[in-house]
Amino acid sequence: MKKLFYFSFGLVLFLFSCKKETTPAPGPPVISFGSFTTTNGTNGVITFNFTDPDGDIGLHQEDTIGNYSKGGVGYYDFYMRYYYLSPTTGNYMPFHFQFNSIPNPLSDSLIFAYRIPFVTNNIKSKTLDGQIIVNLNGYKPSFSYNDSLSNFRFEFWIYDRALHKSNVVTTPGFHTIY
């Protein structure tokens, strides 16, 4: 009877100690706005928080072929669109550059694209959490004739190495003086 008790206790202890660790399903990163500060009239710093269930954030410098080739969506992994507050409508509008020197004028929305350096995941869990700081050199158009560009906000998103697109985050509005 005593042997049966020790065997049962050992079996129960073994069953509870063999807890299988679950691995999250691959999926897109989730991001949230942290802060935005200006360092002078044209440079700024934006920070955001992220959680990536795959743990594959950032690019190596040599990542320039295949999905990561120049001109492809994977070459950059941080994208940010600039919006200005329209004085006529009171709504935020995407800013568009006008290329009038071309016979058929082109219009292109202002999207900043950056490469986030590769983040090494040294923990057992694949899920990676953290904060990314992006230095924005020339974060806004500097057209002195258009004062409406001093009221602006950003919309940004990232891609992980598997090219999963994150949620799109819209910042609050900001005001700077030219």
Q: What is the pLDDT of residues 140-164, one digit of tens each?
A: 665 544 555 688 899 999 999 999 9
The pTM is what?
Answer: 0.76
Residue 60, domain member (yes or no): yes
pLDDT higher than threshold 80 for residue 80? yes
Q: Which of 94, 78, 95, 55 is nearest to 136 (CA)?
A: 78
Distance CA 146, CA 159 (A): 33
At which residue do the structure tokens 């090494």 appear?
Answer: 120
Residue 18 lies in a domain: no
Asked if residue 122 belongs to a domain, the reply is yes
* Cα four-point dihedral sign 62, 67, 69, 71: negative
- 71 pLDDT tier (thresholds 50, 70, 90): confident
Work out how many domains the chain is built from and give that number: 1
Does residue 30 lie within any of the structural domains? yes
Q: Could you tell me if residue 16 is inside a domain?
A: no
Over residues 83-94, the mean pLDDT reads: 90
Tokens of 9: 């206790």
Residue 4 in domain: no
- 29 within a domain of the structure (yes/no): yes
* C-beta separation of 36 from 46 below 8 A: yes
What is the pLDDT at residue 52? 93
So what's the pLDDT on residue 141?
61
Residue 19 lies in a domain: no
Range of lowest pLDDT (17-31, 42-56, 113-127): 17-31
Task: Report the SS3 class of residue 137.
Answer: strand
| pLDDT value at 31 more than 70 | yes
Helix (H, G, I), strand (E, B) or coil at 40: coil
Answer for the pair 154, 35: CB distance below 8 angstroms, yes or no.
Answer: no
Residues 15-27, mean pLDDT to the nearest whole number: 55
pLDDT 10s digits, 90-144: 999 888 765 555 444 444 567 888 999 998 887 778 889 999 998 887 766 655 4
* Domain, as residue range, for 157: 24-175
